[in-house]
Amino acid sequence: MITTSDFRTGLTIELDGDVYIIVDFQHVKPGKGAAFVRTKLKNAKTGGTTERTFRAGEKMERAIMDRREMQFLYKSDDDYFMMDTETYEQMSITEEQLGNDIKYLKENMTISVLMYQDKVFGIEMPFFVELAVAETEPGIKGDTASGGTKAATMESGVVVQVPFFINIGDVLRIDTRTGDYMERV
């Protein structure tokens, strides 16, 4: 059990049967009355945020999230099959559990799978991934300084804006947090 004085950004707590991540918190001591803590919580399963106020000293259960390094093996229908890199156990994860990050996922990629009480709550992608360009318009020779961009479809299916000199087959480093092209590898 933890109290509101233990709150930190990024801490996970269990409320009403759901797991929440503390995004922001503020201890408030009004001139009259008891102190309280105003928080912004993110639901670990749905990703939705909510604001909630707690009395100072209120106790709740801490949710300890387990991060497991897993390797993406293959996709079958809506299931993505992963292998634990330590125990070599395989498990399937649905598209809903993976969330929006599946657009950067490619075979043999290692990711962190977030679990709580053996239930998958989501994944953490590396900050940068290297993907090959599967489809784009041909590059224009000598057009490297104009600063313009064109759309390129990567091997995982995600569309990224890239400079004009990028061609099919080029391997690019993509920032998974913003979806931006970083550099050619």
Q: What is the pTM of this model?
A: 0.69
- Backbone phi and psi for residue 163, each to the nearest 5 degrees, phi listed first: -65, 160
- Flag residues of the chain having pLDDT under 70: 139-147
66-124 and 129-184: identical CATH topology: yes
Angle in degrees, CA 116, 78, 104, rounded to 5: 75
Q: Rounded to whole angstroms, how far apart are CA atoms 7 and 116?
A: 19
- Output DSSP code: residue 138: P
Per-residue confidence (pLDDT) for residue 139, from 0 to 100:
67
- CATH code for 2-62? 2.30.30.30
Top-level CATH class of 66-124? mainly beta
Q: Which CATH superfamily is domain 129-184 in?
A: Nucleic acid-binding proteins (2.40.50.140)
Per-residue confidence (pLDDT) for residue 116, from 0 to 100:
82
Q: How many Cβ atoms sit within 10 Å of the Cβ of residue 177?
A: 10
Domain boundaries, the chain: 2-62, 66-124, 129-184
Q: Tell me how far apart the terminal alpha carbons of the chain are, to the nearest angstrom.
A: 48
Q: Rounded to whole angstroms, how far apart are CA atoms 139 and 164?
A: 5
Q: Rounded to whole angstroms, how far apart are CA atoms 183 and 185?
A: 6
CB neighbour class for 104 (10 Å; exposed up to 12, middle 13-18, buried from 19): buried
Q: Rounded to whole angstroms, how far apart are CA atoms 65 and 11?
A: 10
How far, in Å, are 66, 176, 180 from residue 45 at the CA level? 14, 20, 26
Interval 99-148: pLDDT, tens: 777 888 888 999 988 888 888 877 888 889 999 999 998 866 665 556 67
Per-residue confidence (pLDDT) for residue 131, from 0 to 100:
92
Residue 156 structure tokens:
């995982």
